[in-house]
A and B are shown apart, each in its own frame.
Chain A
């Protein structure tokens, strides 16, 4: 049977199968792991290699200078750089979660590289103590690191995104610890990193603020490693035992005595189920039960732990050691009669046109869905494309015979496998297993691809998975700008636009900002031109110094807030006169500036108007100030002459008179100054502070009310008040004080220029019918007479006057007024009839 060959490669550890397929033959040449320090990143990440300066090695035809080389998992070189940092030996090297290579040298300096072997400035120093004490050892986790100095002090960077070195509590050791391990912050109670130090026959747990003793009497430990979930600790004792303990040292999970008391070179967890020990040429896999599995290697290897197994890197190959997934076991285990195995077998029969296919199917009819499910699942765990295909075909074959199966599972798996196979390609060299991929997530994978400058693949994958491509295109554009120093701006712009247009709504402003950071201001200006969102465009234009364009764009957008943004920016940067010139030519900017300045920057606004020759506006500002001076009690009451006020108004007046168009304003200001003077005099003579800031008409009225007719007359002549207005004012004023005799006298002075209507109105408003009757007959217009009679309720007289006016409409209206009065009403009806109005 075909299945046999598959399972033949498996090893059994107690009741579990393990397999160790080769995923790549290494493409690198002349790399001997034993001569080098090597750091492999999890999740199929890159491998950094540098000649180990702690070992004495023979140099072949190579430079004495060391090179840091970065390869992908298939051994294809991504980048290299010459290592010439000072600071002593390279003590530790590892990758962080976001694939930055961390290199720590003896004096505590930390160098960071990206996958392109470009040094990421600035370098981090672990501090003065580290510098003086020398770093001996580093232990890394996800995004952090601790290092131990010769003086047995521990320093920590808990997150490289925000690298602040801190010192942990002093463990007070006389000797260097036997071995070190860390529990990641995410698995500790305190949320801070915990460092385990093996000292004598116990373990010290060191935190930022204290040291605890754990596991006393457990025996001197030569090697320790913490499991991925931070719960278990695998350790190797001085007497050759492998000890798996919970990290709180409360329980020994299991123990295994090795043949050698020599501590292994490498100790590693393989998933969560077993522990790997590596000596010189032997790799031993120990599980809680049963005999361990032995693998022999005739070349050095490096173990790179993953979440679901261990990658084994040797000079020539990359293998992946993992527990065989249950679905795979159910299909390929020798002699398996589980439904999945039968389904797989059925496909084989079907392909060979054997009727046994049908027989198999009938056997598993009821459990067909789970068989299909198992085949799909198993396909996902295969690296080999042809085997993936066979398993999927089996699933598809089974699916055809059952109705209750989730068909989208199949599609999703195909999609996932396409993505995985694409990144498995040795040129890309990311050997992600499906479990790792799910843990890593697609966006992170895409992020890693673009960091490796695999933009095209990243774009295809994000398109294929229906994700937003903006991230990829943006990164591409920025990388392109960085990498294309030699390409002229116009050409580069075309190249960029070509791609940027692929993605609707992409932020041109962000790309432009990058171009500006790379010293390509002109390109930035060209790019930002294409940004459609003014709210992004304008700030950027300002930051690249394109203030004129920024102002134009802000104005065009209609968003006054953006205009203000530009205004304030320029205001700070430019000298006042230049600023004035700039905004004077732009109506919206100018008006907004004036609105703002009117509220808060009066003096500055005056300067502006003066510089632009708008003298009348300065005059208005001054005039306004004169009132503020008037309202300010210190100014008005303190100085009885209103001198400062009048002075300002006169200044305004002279400014108005500079231009011919403002004669009216000039005249008004002049009168205003004069009025205040007169009012002031009146206040002095009458000893009543009731004149200032009232109008000319009110001043006249007040004078008359006070009985000061001479003063009223004086104001009248000073301001050439017309007879018409004079009559209205005087009549109303006299009516206010109900001086009816004076009113009558006034009416007889001469024939009033506007007739007797003011007299009538004043009397009626004061409800003095008798007084009103003195003037009503003198009204010349019969209609006015009629209405006036009507208003004081004299229906007959009203009717007579109305009939004299021959106005039917008026009669009708009067009738309505007298609606309640039946007698009056009939008068109007007769009259209307007589006039012949319907």
Chain B
């Protein structure tokens, strides 16, 4: 099964988007004649694997390498670098060239920046005097469809760069990506933003429209009705909690990367050499996965058991009684889904090994206690003990961040104490990590009283008696905690910001709500609030779209919650997700870890 997802069922034409990207890449390769060594930024590898098959690259005379500090070993005289405009990557390119020169190798170098050239990077190449040896170009890959309803801008460091370094390059990139979408799908008439970065993106987007307008007249109704921008800063609680959906748990334990997980072949029941890893694709092209990915893991186990049982039953019937041909046909059809069932049973079994551990349950308990924000001391001691036991730093930091945010910081004494214990246990090099977290406001000294309780109550973030089997609220994705970010989206879709303005003011960053012109004659714009579904239908019967963009990343659990909302009766829109990257508490926290050493 291909890792590249099938996008035919997407609510809008994502295939064309992907084809375009593929074509642009191939054009770059075609224009460089003959055999060439394509050296890709390892971070881009995953993105490219969602666009193009490696075999197709080989057909274009490409020898594939990953960019690292080590010199390139290749026979090719043409070396093509495909890199993000990251300053530290330029060092590698320079050292490669220096190495070639010292060996007397004459090569042609091409550097393609994804998605665009950057003055700062070129400056570095220039200062090393390699500029004249290079042909510099761009590969404008701004958006990557990772699934039928999920677009990624592939900016995994966006949140850290914005919050810690003050480098807002990603915001321009996001605006550009959305603006590019608008050129294909029409100007988005409603924009709602919450959080500093979101409001800035909305602002840049408007500037871009002024500078380079999307021609509104020849496109008819815009396919995307509303854009909702949520800054991760507004809700750092949700990603720090352990996700309990099937896909979310897979990510928590196995780290889903660009729509696939890599694990030992033996877990998947494949007879192969010991320790051999295999890649398992996870996307909506797998029908069973599409059905169960968003369910709470408890329920997934039940569903799989049911499927297996009914299969067994059919099989028994098949061997005992005489069957008509059509019944045989049905049975064979069912058999086709057998590999999928096997695959997910293997995965689920592997996950259960983790979820049944007392430490895991204890951790879940603690997360809920922290979110409830009732027993400060118990939480404090729990975290203290984790540090003393030298549990993995990321796990400690996740809880600590959760703890700090819900309390709007820690009292100075506790704050200094825990920081000291952290440095003592994990090393002084983590001073940089602490400094990063403090700059981002994720771990800080308490200065004001926390308003978490008010927010929690007003937005009903903690839901008692969550029925995970037949959920009636998004809280099922965390077995009782409704993600704050999705509550906001729920509000924004239903009625805009106005009814919850007081609450929004308690959350970080400003908010904005704008209507963009160009569609004065269209009637549907003004009644987004509670509009009956029929009005907003695009002529061909599809529902119109709401694009929810998470600046700083989104978790699988949140995506599941959005899909849940989208599937609710009375929902007038299809929700699609845009994100800087699909993140988890783990990967998000890791971006802040920077040892001085």
Contact = CB atoms under 8 A, between A and B. Distances in A.
Given A668-B420, A791-B358, A695 B166 contact: no
Interface string A550-575: 00000011111100110010000000
B389 A591 contact: no
A533 B166 contact: no
B428 interface: yes
B597 A591 contact: no
A557 B389 CA distance: 49
Contacts of A532: 210-211
Contacts of A627: 429, 595-597
Given A668-B423, A668-B428, A695-B428, A592 B210 contact: no
A626 to B, nearest CB: 8
A17 to B, nearest CB: 51
Interface in A282-304: none
A671 interface: yes
A725 B390 CA distance: 10
Interface in A749-798: 754, 787, 791
Pick from A564, A624, A665, A697 the residue with the most CB of B within 10 Å.
A697
A664 B417 CA distance: 10
B165 A595 contact: yes
Contacts of B212: 533
Given A560-B172, A624-B432, A627-B596, A695 B118 contact: no
A506 interface: no
Given A533-B212, A697-B425, A620 B432 contact: yes
A319 to B, nearest CB: 50
Interface in B145-166: 161, 165-166
Contact of A694 (B120, B211, B427): B427
Interface in A20-72: none
B169 interface: yes
Contact of B207 (A557, A669, A695): A557
Interface in A691-717: 693-698
A219 interface: no
Nearest to A675: B428
A564 B119 contact: yes
A241 B393 CA distance: 104
A729 B388 CA distance: 7
Interface residues of B, number: 51
A599 interface: yes
B596 A671 contact: no
Contacts of A754: 385
Contacts of B161: 595
Contacts of B432: 620, 624
A709 to B, nearest CB: 19
Contacts of B211: 532-534
Contacts of B317: none
B416 interface: yes
A559 B427 contact: no
A630 interface: yes
Contact of B389 (A592, A594, A732, A791): A732
A587 B207 CA distance: 21
A568 B123 CA distance: 8
B572 interface: no
A187 interface: no
Interface string B133-145: 0000000000000
A112 interface: no
Contact of B166 (A591, A626, A728): A591
Nearest to A621: B596
B13 to A, nearest CB: 28
B203 interface: yes
Interface string A719-733: 101001100110010
Interface string B102-131: 000000000000001111100110010000
Contact of A561 (B116, B124, B416, B428): B116
Interface in B384-440: 384-385, 388-390, 416, 419-421, 423-429, 431-432, 435
Contacts of B119: 561, 564-565, 568
Contacts of B420: 664, 667-668
Nearest to B358: A787
Contact of A620 (B117, B361, B435): B435
A672 interface: yes
Nearest to A661: B445
Contacts of A729: 388
A558 B175 contact: yes
Given A587-B166, A594-B165, A558 B171 contact: yes
Contacts of B28: none
Given A558-B168, A561-B172, A694-B427, 17 more contacts: A558-B175, A564-B119, A592-B120, A599-B87, A620-B435, A620-B596, A623-B431, A627-B596, A664-B416, A664-B420, A668-B428, A669-B428, A671-B428, A696-B423, A697-B424, A725-B425, A787-B358
Interface of A: 532-534, 556-561, 564-565, 568, 587-588, 590-592, 594-596, 599-600, 620, 623-624, 626-627, 630-631, 664-665, 667-669, 671-672, 675, 693-698, 719, 721, 724-725, 728-729, 732, 754, 787, 791, 813, 817
A-B complex: 9 closest residue pairs judged by Cβ atoms: A591-B166, A627-B597, A558-B204, A695-B427, A560-B169, A672-B428, A696-B424, A728-B388, A564-B119
29 contacts: A532-B210, A533-B211, A558-B172, A558-B207, A560-B167, A560-B169, A561-B116, A561-B169, A564-B120, A568-B123, A594-B166, A595-B167, A620-B435, A623-B431, A623-B596, A624-B596, A627-B597, A668-B423, A672-B428, A675-B428, A693-B429, A695-B426, A696-B425, A697-B425, A724-B384, A724-B385, A728-B385, A729-B388, A732-B389
